[in-house]
């Protein structure tokens, strides 16, 4: 097998240190020489490792994406060397010969022969933006958990507020909960605190607010409401910070929000996860595959087996799932027509993935060409094959 990189290094990383195998291809029939050294994971040790690799004229470095432990090594080395961060699933070594030293040598051997490809690691501004959006996603989920805990507490007291008011943290619900915490127990007085459209449900609220709200429930409700308020404040701070970090990418952001269902937060996540530069992805299909919205391929002996989607970027896929679900409920759009067309034949789950795929294709083309989204319309499929559409309607 041809050697692509005569001087290659493989790094097997752990929390405290790393095993580094430097592979130097011999001339003629000489076998490649390999030396393995151990380096600490502190910044000074990593900088010393970088100088060591440069002194040995190493041209490419291969390392596994091991948790978050690869970061202290990747960033300093990437400033001066070509570094390939590879998926551990793609570089499994021979069973029964597993050790840190053999893993490092195996990575160096794979890299020398060009058998691995590096993962996408965004530049520093996008990495910072990605941390912000991912943190916002996680603490938003935590806020939802706190709201669920509050609902369970109300159920324990016999208060059925959530069965009438859809949002326990809305204005009306919050006024009633604050009154309950203040000691008010008359259901009619509590129901009269409803505002806006919820006032039409005052009789139902009066019935739902009848229960036994004890001092224990007041203490726990106050605790949970304080936690919800604190998390909401953190989300607001993150929103402001993300808005500042998004300024350099405002053009791409404004294009993305023209896609039906794409909110500002979804556009933030898309740019943070992909970098906003579609030059990283050779085609729209590459982007869809990276995000985990393309069907897999498993064919053997002429028979196709499971074609489930591959694991993709969880944060981007999660945001796309919300957008796809909301867009399918709309009327008069291409995405809703596509969903209904596929769901009738293949089921709702596969139809949602198909809509996510179509959204990614649209986003890739928009960011590549700089065009606003132009919806093909709900009658796109009918107009594309009018004869088949007519025959199907007659049948």
**What does the alpha-carbon distance between residue 252 and residue 275 come to, in Å, rounded to a whole number?**
10
For residues 41-69, average pLDDT? 90
pLDDT band, residue 29 (cuts 50/70/90): low
Pairing of β 7-13 and β 60-64: parallel
DSSP 331: S
Residue 95 has pLDDT above 70, yes or no: no
Question: Which domain, by its residues, includes 236?
Answer: 125-245
How would residue 234 be classed by pLDDT, with cut points 50, 70 and 90? very high
Asked if the model's pLDDT at residue 44 lies above 90, the reply is yes
Q: Confirm whether 364 is domain-assigned.
A: yes
Residues 187 and 141 in one domain: yes
CATH number of the domain encompassing residue 28: 3.30.420.10
Choice between 96 and 334, residue whose per-residue pLDDT is larger: 334
Is 142 found in the same domain as 51?
A: no
Asked whether residue 261 falls in the same domain as residue 138, the answer is no
List the single range of 93-102, 153-162, 168-177, 314-323 with lowest mean pLDDT: 93-102
Number of neighbours of residue 328 by Cβ within 10 angstroms: 20
Instruction: Name the residue with higher pLDDT: 391 or 205.
Output: 205
What does the DSSP assignment read for 255-266? HHTTSTT--HHH
What pLDDT digit, counting tens, does each position of 274-331 carry?
988 898 899 998 898 888 887 766 666 666 666 677 778 889 988 998 888 888 888 8
pLDDT of residue 367: 92
Res. 392: pLDDT tops 80: no
Q: Does the pLDDT at position 61 exceed 80?
A: yes
**Whole-number Å distance between alpha carbons of 61 and 9:** 5
pLDDT of residue 47: 94
Max Cα–Cα distance, the chain, nearest Å: 93
How many C-beta neighbours within 10 Å does residue 131 have?
12
Write down the pLDDT at residue 139: 94
- The pLDDT value recorded for residue 228 is 94
Q: 370 and 259, same structural domain?
A: yes
pLDDT value, residue 296:
67
Is the pLDDT at 353 greater than 70? The verdict is yes
**What's the domain count of the chain?**
3
Same domain, 277 and 290: yes
Does residue 339 sit in the same domain as residue 261?
Answer: yes
Residue 304 included in any domain: no
Interhelix angle for 171-181 vs 215-245, to 10°? 140
Residue 286 within a domain:
yes
Using the predicted structure, report yes or no on whether residue 150 has a pLDDT greater than 80: yes
Per-residue confidence band for 273, with pLDDT thresholds at 50, 70 and 90 = very high
More confident residue, 138 or 113: 138
- 306 assigned to some structural domain: no
Residue 147's H or E segment, with its range, is helix 124-157
User: Looking at residue 93, what is its pLDDT?
Assistant: 60
pTM of the model: 0.84
Lookup: tokens for 25? 């291809």
Of the candidates 80, 112, 144, which is a domain's last residue? 112
* Res 73: pLDDT: 92
Q: Are residues 236 and 271 in the same domain?
A: no
- Tell me: pLDDT of 244 over 90: yes
Q: Is the pLDDT of residue 221 over 80?
A: yes
237 and 263 in a single domain? The answer is: no
Res. 166 pLDDT band, cuts 50 70 90: confident
- Residues ≥6 apart with Cβ < 8 Å to 244: none
Q: Are residues 79 and 154 in the same domain?
A: no
Give the side-chain half-sphere CA count within 13 A for 273: 25
> Same domain for 255 and 374?
yes
Q: Mark whether 79 and 172 lie in a shared domain.
A: no
Predicted pLDDT of residue 362:
92
Residues 83, 153, single domain; the answer is: no
Is 272 part of a structural domain of the chain? yes
**pLDDT on residue 261:** 85
269: tokens are 């996540």
- How big is the CA angle at 146 (ends 140 and 152), to the nearest 5 degrees? 145
Question: Does residue 198 surpass a pLDDT of 80?
Answer: yes
What pLDDT score does 389 carry?
76
pLDDT of residue 185: 83
Q: Report the side by side order of strands in the sheet with 17-24.
A: 33-40, 17-24, 7-13, 60-64, 82-86
Q: Are 391 and 277 in contact (CB under 8 A)?
A: no
Structural domain includes residue 73? yes
CATH number assigned to the domain comprising residue 200: 1.10.287
Give the pairing type, strands 299-300 and 82-86: unpaired
Q: Given a cut of 90, is residue 65 above it in pLDDT?
A: no
Percent of the chain with pLDDT over 70: 95
pLDDT of residue 194: 86
Which tens digit of pLDDT belongs to each residue from 120-144?
Answer: 888 899 999 999 999 999 999 999 9
């Amino acid at each position: 097998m041809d050697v692509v990189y005569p001087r290659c290094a493989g790094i097997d990383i752990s929390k405290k240190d790393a095993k580094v195998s430097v592979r130097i291809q011999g001339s003629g029939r000489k076998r490649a020489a390999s030396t393995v050294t151990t380096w600490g994971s502190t910044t000074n040790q990593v900088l010393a490792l970088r100088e060591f690799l440069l002194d040995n004229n190493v041209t490419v470095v291969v390392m596994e994406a091991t948790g978050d432990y690869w970061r202290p090594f990747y960033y300093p080395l990437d400033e001066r060397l070509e570094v390939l961060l590879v998926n551990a699933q793609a570089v499994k070594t021979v069973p029964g010969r597993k050790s840190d030293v053999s893993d490092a040598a195996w990575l160096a051997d794979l890299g020398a022969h060009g058998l691995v490809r590096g993962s996408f690691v965004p530049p520093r501004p996008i990495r910072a933006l990605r941390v912000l959006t991912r943190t916002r996603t996680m603490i938003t989920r935590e806020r939802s958990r706190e709201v669920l805990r509050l609902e369970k507490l109300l159920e324990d007291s016999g208060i059925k507020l959530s069965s009438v008011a859809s949002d326990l943290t809305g204005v009306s619900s919050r006024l009633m909960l604050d009154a309950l915490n203040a000691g008010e127990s008359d259901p009619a007085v509590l129901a009269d605190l409803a505002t806006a459209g919820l006032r039409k449900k005052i009789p139902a609220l009066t019935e739902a607010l009848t229960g036994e709200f004890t001092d224990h429930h007041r203490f726990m409700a106050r605790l949970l409401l304080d936690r919800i308020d604190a998390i909401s404040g953190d989300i607001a701070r993150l929103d402001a910070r993300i808005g500042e970090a998004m300024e350099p990418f405002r053009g791409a952001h404004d294009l993305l929000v023209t896609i039906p269902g794409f909110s500002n937060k979804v556009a933030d996540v898309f740019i943070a996860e992909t970098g906003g530069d579609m030059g990283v992805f050779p085609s729209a299909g590459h982007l869809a595959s990276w995000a985990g919205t393309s069907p897999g391929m498993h064919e053997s002996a002429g028979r196709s087996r499971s074609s489930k989607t591959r694991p993709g970027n969880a944060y981007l896929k999660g945001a796309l799932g919300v957008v796809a679900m909301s867009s399918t409920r709309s009327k008069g759009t291409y995405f809703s027509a596509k969903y209904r067309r596929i769901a009738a034949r293949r089921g709702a789950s596969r139809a949602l993935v198909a809509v996510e795929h179509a959204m990614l294709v649209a986003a890739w083309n928009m960011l590549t060409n700089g065009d606003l989204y132009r919806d093909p319309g709900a009658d796109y499929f009918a107009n594309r094959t009018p004869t088949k559409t007519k025959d199907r309607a007659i049948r």
